[in-house]
Amino acid sequence: MNIPLLFVFSTTPDIDLLIPVLQHRGPTHSLLIISLLFLPTFLVYGKRITPYFLATILHPIGDYFIGGTVQLLWPATIHWYGIGINAISLTAILTEWTFFLTSLTFMLKAKDLRILFHHHPTNLLLAIPLFTVLLPSLFSFPLSVPVALIIPHIILLVFFVLPILIDIEHTTHIRHRLTRKTI
């Protein structure tokens, strides 16, 4: 599995934040649309694409529980679904911490963090989830993140920024070495 790609796929439903004509958590969060878009990749890659598909559909499902309402079945229906847990409620905060700690535990057990913090060409793709995390915060200042969730948000930002910096440093080092050889 490619960890940077998992992060990218898990945030792709939020592409609607960058498209002014789309309402947030609308069609890009539809389980039908996501499944339809993944169909060709399943035909080409088979079950190897399953982790990326799951990472993508877990986003709107998570929003269904603690993000308000979501157009889960668009275009079959334009109805908005959600169980109505306020994003700043204790239930939402505990749920986010549970998901965060669970995913962190899996990443540590699988040694995915060690892989993530090494040079890899796909690390630069982490700029995509980085911007989906940062953009809403930049446009809705002061931050709308509950204080109790600042720590996991900062850790996720480190997970996105550090591999990018590692790749930039690696590329700079290689260029510097190549420059010295040609001189």
- Give tens-digit pLDDT for 69-119: 999 999 999 999 999 888 788 998 998 899 899 999 998 998 888 888 888
Position 162 scores a pLDDT of 93
The two three-digit tokens of residue 37, written as one number: 């878009």
Global pTM?
0.81
Provide the pLDDT confidence category of residue 138 given band limits of 50, 70 and 90.
Answer: low
**Which residue did the predictor score with more confidence, 59 or 177?**
59
Cβ–Cβ < 8 Å for 15, 37: no
Question: Which range has the worst mean pLDDT, 7-11, 37-41, 51-55, 126-130?
Answer: 126-130
Is residue 37 within a helix (H) or strand (E), and if so which, with residue range? helix 31-45
Containing 176, the helix (H) or strand (E) segment is helix 150-182
